[in-house]
Structure 1
Amino acid sequence: MTSDDAGQGLTERALVKIRRLGLVADRKAAGHTQESLAAALGLDVKTVRQWENGTYKPSTHFLQQRLAEELRITRRQLALRLDPPTDSTHAPFADHEMDAEPTDGDVPSASVRPDRSPKLSCAGKNVINWRDDSSQPGSPEPSVVHSDIPQLRRVLDTRDLPEDGPVRPLSELAEAVQTVVVRRLQSDYAVLAADVNELLPELHRAILAAPPTLKPQHASLLARTYRAADAVADKFGYYDLSARIIDLMRTAATQSGDELLVGSAAYVRGEIYFATHDLDAGGRMLTAAADKIRVSASETAAATYGALHMRAAVMAARAGSALRARDHIEEAKQAARQVNEGVHLGTVFGVPSVRIHQLSLAVELGDVGGALRLASGWAPPITMPAERRSHFYIDLGRAFHLADQPERVLSAFREAGRIAPEHVREHSQVIDVVDHLELITRGRLRDEFADFAAGLVKPQSRSGFGL
């Protein structure tokens, strides 16, 4: 074996171990230790450890089904955990060898620390395998997500005439919705796309059949699930579909009677204005939504108000208005002082989140020194969801690009990709920076950017906005 072959082998082994960390997170979310899971399956604990460190995987259909049941996930979700991609497109996100086997309370050590996929402050149990999931094993490639988009469109087309099927009690539906919320926050898009296609028809049936007294609660669940569906559409470039889903989310939020959920829908609506570049109008929309909220009413009210101003600040900065951006971020900072960092109505908000957005503002405004000072000696807390943490490293990479430090760009983007690979792979700002640096760098560094670029997917034009 050549040294290059050996290096590739190490990369693939590291990649498998990183993907199997999702299996560890699922086990812990289900309340199992390695020992209790092994006992439930009638196996030696060494077998479970080998599954989690990437050495082996369950070899029979029956054993995979039993494992999925114990972890309270579907067969498809299990397949996505067990079968990471083996091609080179993912290698740039996992180029460090992992040395230690994962054990309870620990994860493999490496020069880049793998994601622990922590429990979130809003996280509930995973959904029990209530579906007859006949999906074939696969990997969370972008193509898996894209293949689910036509079905998502059909689900929305038939929302007033859903197919007949079961409807679980409200408490179980709430648990299922909480799971897709967590999947969204962790950027687990391949599983999320399949889950919303399964869950939305049931919610459509539920709200049509619900008595008037329960319709607001069902509408609230539907609004949260539409937001999860929108995350898939927006992140993978289906902006026309995203706009349609956001409109449905706003309607459901209004039907819920929850004014703060309506504010949360306005926060999500901001995506439309980013996509169309109508930033001034977007800023007015967000400000108007924030003005309707009484900040002192509750922590959730303060978080919703602050998140709206946080997003308005980024819009103002992208439009080149430093003064408006500063005013909005100051409003967000004041609100954050009243809030514990966490997930509030599906949006991550608190002091660390505001700091991440301050970095975004500095980058958008070209304030390289300010951006690097904000990032110096600080990193997002590990308890923060993957999507928000990966945003920090994407913006940090953009700051290093402005500072003409290409090696540090690569390091930051790799970290973002390690935390949330599906978030990074089709991220337009990452693609633009990497394309530029691949052209202007030379030698080893150019080769490294070319390798990293091979793991990115440039989306085709799928948008009604012509983007």
Structure 2
Amino acid sequence: MPKRLTPVDLTIGERIRARRQLRGWTVRLAADRAGISHTTLSRIERGTRSADNRFILADIAAGLECSVTDLTGQPGAPADQSAAVAQANVHAIRGALIEADFGEPPTHAPRPLPVLERETELVQALRSRLDYAGAGQYLPRLIRELHAAAASPDRDTALRLAVIVGDVALSVARYTGYPAEAWLGAEWSRQAAEALDDPVLLGFSAWARTHAATGCGAYERGHALATRAVDALQDNLSAPNAAEMLGLLLLTSAHTSYAIKRPGDAAEYFAEAARVAARTGETTTFDQYFGPTNVAFWQLSSEVDGGDPGKAVQIANGTDPAVLPVPMRQVMFYLDAGRAFARVRRDREATRALLTAERIGPQHVRSSPIAAETARGLLGRAQRGSELRGLAERLGVAG
């Protein structure tokens, strides 16, 4: 008797088919609702096309009236102990974010401000290394104590730290499969920025909310947040870090323009971001590393999901990720490069890129349903090396 599939066993394509059948819709009707061809949807359901395009997944989820995570199965069963720890931490982070409302009195006594500053730097560093389990263990207490410190004479410094820590919480939650909790982190960052009324930090919190929104597949909302923040920052470009923040917001405006099928707008935003990057050079502001190399990284990601895979390959081949020796940035580059190579059937380069990403950031890659889908597509083709089979196994993909 064949094994009965459980939700954990299902591929993204199988979850899409199950959702469609639950609604009683034909492939053609569901595809029309998603704004894609019925051939594309059919191939995704049957597993002959990888379900690793984030824009298409968001469109399918909207068409099926479900969340993206309903289709990706996140948060899935943890791939290893570090992933299990990271997922457990998110539950504690959620509770801290709900409790630490800046409109409510504190319930915890904070440690001295220098301790909170050092711990904020630590969680930023752990996030940059994609150590979500490591960062997550500090966040619940740090969130509560920054909330308490914001009601003390250290208010302004505590709020500045909170803007950053909210974004770290967002990253930990989003990349371990909890997009709603990621939005809580972004909203906490916004609360702190609004309390300070600092235009650059308000821009940063809008950038964080854009990332949280797109992590939920809400690209229209993300686009609105990013473009409004670009406009709001225009009158404050002489402030410290304002140029870098503007550049980051232009990049997210461009990326979300691709997602909502406005490539002309995307090209304009990318061109403006490139002009800003030419003035700033490579930067480390807010641990986001805006600059010419990061512009190329975002162009690669946007072309993979919403543009031309061939152009994405050209960008990948023409970009040196070593310019930004930061795991957080490099892993995103190699995952996107792997998808680009896979789309043009350059399987050896695709496999090598995925393996490089896993070596740099194993927690991130092994928790990524997009990486798993790319590996699944490669595994389904004729050339199956032992390295690819091993990678697929670590990503939870059956051979």
Task: Please say if 1:264 is aligned against 2:208.
Answer: no
* Structure (1 or 2) with the larger CA radius of gyration: 1
Shift of 1:153: 2.3
1:320 corresponds to 2:320 = no
Cα 1:245/1:378, change in 2 over 3 Å: closer
- Percent identity of the aligned residues? 26
Structure 2 partner of 1:371: 312
Equivalent pairs counted in the alignment come to 314
SS across alignment from 2:276: helix
Give the C-alpha shift of residue 164 in structure 1. Answer: 4.1
Task: Give the aligned residue type for 1:174.
Answer: E
Query: Offset of 1:391 from its aligned partner?
Result: 0.9
Task: State the Cα distance separating 1:187 from its structure 2 match.
Answer: 1.1
Answer yes or no: is the 8 Å Cα contact 1:426–1:457 preserved in 2. no
In structure 1, list runs of 5 or more residues that go unmatched. 1-138, 459-467
1:285 Cα deviation (Å)? 1.9
Contact 1:299–1:338 under 8 Å retained in 2:
no
Separation in 2, partners of 1:385, 1:338? 22
For the 8 Å contact 2:255–2:298, the answer to whether it is kept is yes
* Matching of residue 362 in structure 1 with residue 340 in structure 2: no
Cα deviation for residue 299 of structure 1 reads 5.8
Match 2:131 to one of 169, 174, 188: 188
- What letter matches 1:167 in structure 2? R
**Match for residue 392 of structure 2?**
453
Q: Distance in 1 between matches of 2:210 and 2:134?
A: 25
Deviations 1:201-250 (A, max 9, x none): 22222123x13xx3222111112111111111111111111112211110
Separation (CA, whole Å) in 2 of partners of 1:364 and 1:411: 20
Partner AA of 1:281 in structure 2 = R
Q: Secondary structure at the match of 1:286?
A: helix
User: After the TM superposition, which residues 179-258 of structure 1 pair with which residues of structure 2 at under 5 Å, given as runs?
Assistant: 179-208=122-151, 210-211=152-153, 214-258=154-198
Partner Cα separation in structure 2 for residue 296 and residue 156 of structure 1: 31
CA distance in 2, matches of 1:382, 1:327: 25
**Distance in structure 2 (CA, Å) of the matches to 1:140 and 1:407:** 30
Partner of residue 111, structure 2: 167
Alignment CA distance shift 1:271-1:219 (3 Å): same
Of residues 177, 191, 200, the one that matches 2:120 is: 177
User: What is the CA–CA distance in structure 2 between the aligned matches of 1:291 and 1:184, rounded to whole Å?
Assistant: 29
Letter in 1 for 2:302: L
**For the structure 1 residues 272 and 222, does the alpha-carbon distance in structure 2 shift closer, same or farther, using more than 3 Å as the test?**
closer
Deviation at residue 384 of structure 1 after TM alignment = 3.3
Report if the CA contact (8 A) 1:296-1:302 is conserved.
Answer: yes
Please say if residues 293 and 324 of structure 2, whose CA atoms lie closer than 8 Å, have aligned partners that are also in contact. no
What TM-score does the superposition give when structure 2 sets the normalisation length? 0.73
Q: 1:206 to 1:436 in 2, by over 3 A?
A: same
Q: Distance in 2 between matches of 1:457 and 1:225?
A: 31
Q: Does the aligned pair in 1 maintain the 2:96–2:140 contact within 8 Å?
A: yes
Long gaps (5+) in structure 2: 1-79
Measured against aligned partners, the alpha-carbon deviations of 1:121-179 in whole angstroms (never above 9, x if no partner) come to: xxxxxxxxxxxxxxxxxx862101112122222223332465544521x3332222122
Give the C-alpha shift of residue 252 in structure 1.
Answer: 0.6
Go from structure 1 to structure 2 and tell me whether the alpha carbon gap of 1:292 and 1:276 turns closer, same or farther (over 3 Å shift).
Answer: same
Counterparts of 1:282-301 in structure 2, within 5 Å, are 282-294=222-234, 296-298=237-239, 300-301=241-242
Q: For 2:317 and 2:295, locate their aligned partners in 1 and report how far apart those are by CA, in whole Å.
A: 16
Range with bigger deviation, 258-267 or 368-377:
368-377
d(CA) in 1 for partners of 2:373, 2:84:
21
Change (3 A) 1:268 1:343: same
Say if 2:179 and 2:216, in contact at 8 Å, map to a contact too.
no
Which shows bigger deviation, 253-262 or 359-368? 359-368
State which of 321, 334, 337 in structure 2 corresponds to 1:380: 321
How far is 1:457 from its partner? 5.4
Alignment of 1:414-425 (within 5 A): 414-425=355-366
Matches of 1:343 and 1:161 in 2, distance apart?
34
Distance in 2 between the 1:290 and 1:384 partners?
28
State how far apart, in whole Å, the 2-side matches of 1:224 and 1:286 are. 18
Q: What is the distance in 2 between the residues matched to 1:457 and 1:289?
A: 39
How far apart in 2 are the matches of 1:375 and 1:386? 17
Q: Which position in structure 1 is the counterpart of 2:334?
A: 393
Quote how far apart the aligned CAs of 1:397 are.
0.5
TM-score normalised according to structure 1 size: 0.63
CA offset at residue 185 of structure 1? Answer: 1.8
**Letter paired with 2:362:** P
1:320 aligns to what SS in structure 2?
coil
